[in-house]
Homo-oligomer: A and B are copies of this chain.
Amino acid sequence: MLPVDLPGTVRDALLAPLVDHHCHGVRRDDLSRAQFELLIGEGGVPAPPGTTHFDTPSGAAVRRWCAPLLDLEPHAPPAVYLARRAELGAGEVNRRLLAGAGVVAFLVDSSDRQGPQDADVLSAAEMGRHGGAAADELVRIEQIERDVAETAQLGVDYLDALADELAARAARAVGLKTVIGSLMGLDLDPARPTRGAVIAAANRRLADPKELLTDPILLRYLLWSAVDVARERGLPVQFHSGFGADPAGLSAFVRELQPLGVPVILLHCHPYHRQAAYLAGAFPHVYVDVGLAPPYTAASARVVDELLELAPFHKQLFSSCCRGLAETGYLGALYYRHALAAALGSRLATGEWSTSDAARVAHMIGSGNARRIYRL
């Protein structure tokens, strides 16, 4: 299972069920090759003529590691893989791959289910059932704002409805999530916007409620509203970070949050994971995710190893960032375990760490830290 030879307690710790603290639902329907390729690729567009999204790190990983779960040889050609996937049917494939991930609890951002494709994506509860695991909800705050913007009439109503809806949704969730980083970057002015500025912005917003929200005043207002709810309910706030959203920009905001005691969880972070590790070391309420978005799982070995030499062990969390394809959930867990196995193996081989510390840290990152922070 694991690529290196390890003492029994460390191996057991690595193979113990994981808390996948950030994932999305996967498609329930049978997919054509074109649909499947779009979900492997990152840009949401087909590969250029003469090429295929299978010729990517994630495409190669699917053929290597997922093929055996569909009873195929490793490295099965794309056509063979997809034929077998169709033969088994999406339900069976999802069950095999999600259960194969060895996850005890999925924390699911279900906002992909909004809009026309609702029915095509598994709900949080269904993710749990397919994977033989518990499941809880994460609330993506920009999704709430979109729902509110589409129904509110006046700026004041909008603000009230936002507060109500955030509170109502948070009451059923284990954490909040923001994608402000991909909407305006993470170099945030830490001050709360004034009420006057917010109402003016809200009135502008309501003139065009279908647009993607990019107004920095409203985005920051939304974030602060989420922080207030998170503080009240003892919930952490997840921040999407990574390309275009360097978590280093979040320093001032994070410092502002420190007295409030709201945990800040930095998701993905690659290629800025070293900056995220710095924040996790410097601030007691900041955490860092060692899970990588599907296109980057092949980079896990390097990233997991670097975080282990840079960030406190009680600040690191596993996630698969599974999305669309159950393959990504399986690969996220598999590459995480392989990467941590290699990192611990080399520390044990040189005597840098003891066996009991290695096993203990594997438990912390795999599930213990998430149980503590999300109060599971």
Residue A60 is within 8 A (CB to CB) of chain B in the complex: yes
Residues of B within 8 Å of A208, CB to CB, are none
Q: Which residues of A297-350 have CB atoms within 8 Å of chain B's CB atoms?
A: 298-299, 302, 306, 308-314, 350
Q: Are B354 and A312 in contact (CB under 8 A)?
A: no
Residues of B within 8 Å of A56, CB to CB, are 281, 311-313
Residue A357 is within 8 A (CB to CB) of chain B in the complex: yes
Q: Are A313 and B275 in contact (CB under 8 A)?
A: no
Residues of B within 8 Å of A45, CB to CB, are 283-284
Residue A231 is within 8 A (CB to CB) of chain B in the complex: no
Residue from B48, B57, B244, B310 within 8 A of A310 (CB atoms): B57
**What bracket does the count of chain A residues touching chain B fall in?**
35 or more
A321–B50 CA distance with the chains assembled, in angstroms: 27
Q: Which residues of A34-92 have CB atoms within 8 Å of chain B's CB atoms?
A: 41-43, 45-48, 50-53, 55-57, 60, 64, 74-75
Task: State the A residues within 8 Å of B (CB).
Answer: 3, 41-43, 45-48, 50-53, 55-57, 60, 64, 74-75, 243-244, 248, 251, 270-271, 274-275, 278, 281-285, 295-296, 298-299, 302, 306, 308-314, 350-354, 357, 361, 364, 372
Sample of 10 A–B contacts (CB below 8 Å): A42-B282, A47-B312, A50-B314, A56-B311, A243-B278, A271-B274, A271-B275, A271-B278, A299-B306, A299-B310
